[in-house]
Amino acid sequence: MGFRFFLFLFLATLPAFLAQEFEDAIIKVDGATTVAETDANFICATLDWWPHDKCNYNHCPWGYSSVINMDLSHPLFAKAIEAFKHLRIRIGGSLQDQVLYDIGSLRSPCHPFRKMNDGLFGFSKGCLRMSRWDELNRLFSQTGVILTFGLNALYGRYQIRKGAWAGVWDSSNTQNFIKYTISKGYQIDSWEFGNELSGSGVGASVNAEQYGKDLINLKAIINKLYNNSNVKPLLVAPGGFYEQDWYAKLLQVSGSSTVNVVTHHIYNLGAGVDPNLVSKILNPHYLSRVEETFKSLDKTLQTWGPWASAWVGESGGAYNSGGHLVSNTFVNSFWYLDQLGMASKYHTKVYCRQTLIGGNYGLLNTTTLVPNPDYYSALLWHRLMGKGVLAVDSTASPFLRSYAHCSKGKAGITLLLINLSNQTTFQINVENSMNLNLFVKKTTMYRGSAFMRGLKKSASWIGSKADEQLFREEYHLTPKDGYLRSQTMVLNGMPLELTDDGNIPSLNPVRLNLNAPIFINPLSIAFIAFPNFDAPACA
């Protein structure tokens, strides 16, 4: 398959290929030590509360995809989750702090969400019935989900002015809900407190000092209710946009070991209606701006909360339901995979994508549940990129983004290469900072007969069993028909589509001779696994 793949790839694009620019690049990976470590289940996806009549920009992209109303029996939904073996899911979102749990005594009736002009985000309070909670947990148990549940942190508070809420959190409804959850034996990995109430908030905000005191209360409740349990769920907070002073104050007030995980949200591409979304995604300088947020949060935790780890609790790229025909197409994977690589370098343990299903940024199509391109990007990361994050130096232009991890479940390392350039093909030489040069001879591509010799060499296979270890595995991702907004991703020349019996397709690499040059075509992405890379840090 290796030779056929490259023959197809190069000959199909031969006219454009001959007109491209070529740039040699050296990528040096330090296999001696890790610079950070992610959780084994780094990939996370969210389920939201939005009802079908949630609309943005005269477009209503949510359908029946919410925690309350989605069809849990759809066979593709379970298959999409099971493909990860253990997918981490976070239930939460804008309406989270208006959800009432239909158990015990309530301050107000437990009705479905309905549109309300003066309601938070234009909706009334909503209801999670325990029969629905039972259905959700049956699915989660069957599919091996690792669950984070976002709790209502506004219950019992009152509004003092537009956007600002005060008062002590009323824990009664949450306590009854957690008691019910424990009584049914449902496994909760972590409870998250509130959604986007930090700093100036989104729709509503709570003072950091009061928030910290409420977290102490919630921690005591969790400890008490799970007193007889072998494993206590983690406490996660605040699930909002990072503001340094507010986050630092929260950690100071709540104190040592109260909060296990500090979450923040990222929508660094701006509004979903922005006509410049694609140009932002393909601009390496724009993508790098958010790096300061990761750096600052990491420093804040080292200073004020070294007991806590950092998660991206929600990130959809573009806010207000994502970008129509952008967030659910191939081009979004440039942003998404770059985010995963960047976040992991700054000690981010988990990265939750908004959403698994719903809005324009779902990993699955809202109506059909057929995977969008980012689903396959997430699945490949989950299967290939291990916990250990390695330092990478590159001589390439900023348009080639490169990240390296220990390979997952096997020896060696895996490189993620993202080519944002629309005209430059990068020929890459990978080196080990321990002075191991992986490639014996560097090959340069020329036109004419030399070009064809290079093509043949790049697609060579290891033919003898004795040389089995001298190979690498490559996963090249491109859009169908070269259209960046295609909703079909192509892997090594083959469109990724459901099998005839409705299953997730296999994601197979091409195996290439280790000495063959590495080429990354314009506007493409590649995972490259090196099983024989000498990396003591990954042992």
Q: Indicate left, alpha or beta for 36 from its phi (over 0: left) and psi (-120 to 50: alpha).
A: beta
Indicate if 243 belongs to the active site: no
CA distance 271 to 351: 21
Retrieve residue 433's tokens: 């900072």
CA distance 364 to 355: 8
The continuous run of DSSP H or E covering 424 comes out as strand 424-432
Active-site residue among 314, 473, 474, 497?
314
What's the one-letter identity of residue 120?
A: L
Q: 538 and 388 in contact (C-beta within 8 Å)?
A: yes
- For residue 533, give the DSSP letter: -
The continuous run of DSSP H or E covering 400 comes out as strand 400-407
CA distance 153 to 170: 8
250 — phi, psi (to 5°)? -60, -45
Task: Please list, in sequence order, all residues whose beta carbon lies within 8 angstroms of the beta carbon of residue 182, skipping any fewer than 6 positions away.
Answer: 225, 226, 229
Q: 45 and 83 in contact (C-beta within 8 Å)?
A: no
Other CB atoms within a 10 A radius of the CB of residue 181 amount to 21
Closest CA to 208 of 200, 425, 486, 295: 200
Indicate if 196 belongs to the active site: yes
Between helix 291-304 and helix 244-254 the angle, nearest 10°, is 20
Q: 96 and 123 in contact (C-beta within 8 Å)?
A: no
CA distance 82 to 87: 7
* Whether the bond into 238 is cis, omega within 30 of 0: yes
- For residue 356, give the DSSP letter: S
Active-site residue among 21, 135, 192, 196?
196
Find the radius of gyration of the CA atoms of the chain: 24
Q: 505 and 380 in contact (C-beta within 8 Å)?
A: no
DSSP states along 99-113: EEEESS--SS-----
What's the one-letter identity of residue 39?
A: D
Strand partners, 489: 479
CA dihedral over 277, 278, 284, 285, signed as positive or negative? negative
Strand partners, 37: 388
- Report the Cα–Cα distance between both ends of the chain, in Å, rounded: 31
Residues identified as active-site? 196, 314
